[in-house]
Amino acid sequence: MDIIQILKEDYQRFPADQTYNIYAPDVFFKDPMNQFQGIERYKKMISFINTWFGEPKLDLHEIQRSGHTIKTRWTLRWTTPLPWRPRIAIPGWSELKLNADELITSHIDYWDCSRLDVLKQHLPF
């Protein structure tokens, strides 16, 4: 199956039933909150989102490939488990790098807002 189609399906199901075999074992991941290497750490991060965030959803707006680079544009949404249950939205984009075997070796997420903007969404006023 084509990696673009797999990614589209993973975005629709996120964070459940992700296709981890499209990632290299030593995949590098970075976003504004995390930076690490390895598929096992990546799986743990997805599991954390699935466990602690309410109703997580990853809306894919755009996906395009150029050579060994895939860029996606998305909005990540969830409900934070606070008494007032704020609904959080982070718009952003990802840059995925592929190796010769079509495995993702690098996954870097960029947010279109600051970490402070995300924090402010959690405030009840």
Write out pLDDT tens, residues 3-51.
999 999 999 999 999 999 999 999 999 999 999 999 999 999 999 999 9
pLDDT of residue 30: 98
Q: What is the mean pLDDT of residues 45-62?
A: 95
pLDDT of residue 121: 96
Domains and CATH numbers, the chain: 3-121 (3.10.450.50)
Residue labelled with tokens 């992700």: 18
pTM above 0.85, yes or no: yes
CB count within 10 Å of CB 112 equals: 11
Say how far apart CA 49 and CA 51 lie, in whole Å: 5
pLDDT of residue 31: 96
pLDDT at 93 over 90: yes
Residues of the chain with pLDDT > 70: what percent?
A: 100
The answer to whether 10 and 3 are in contact (CB under 8 A) is no
The answer to whether 50 and 15 are in contact (CB under 8 A) is yes
Task: Select from 74, 108, 78 the least CA-distant residue to 91.
Answer: 74
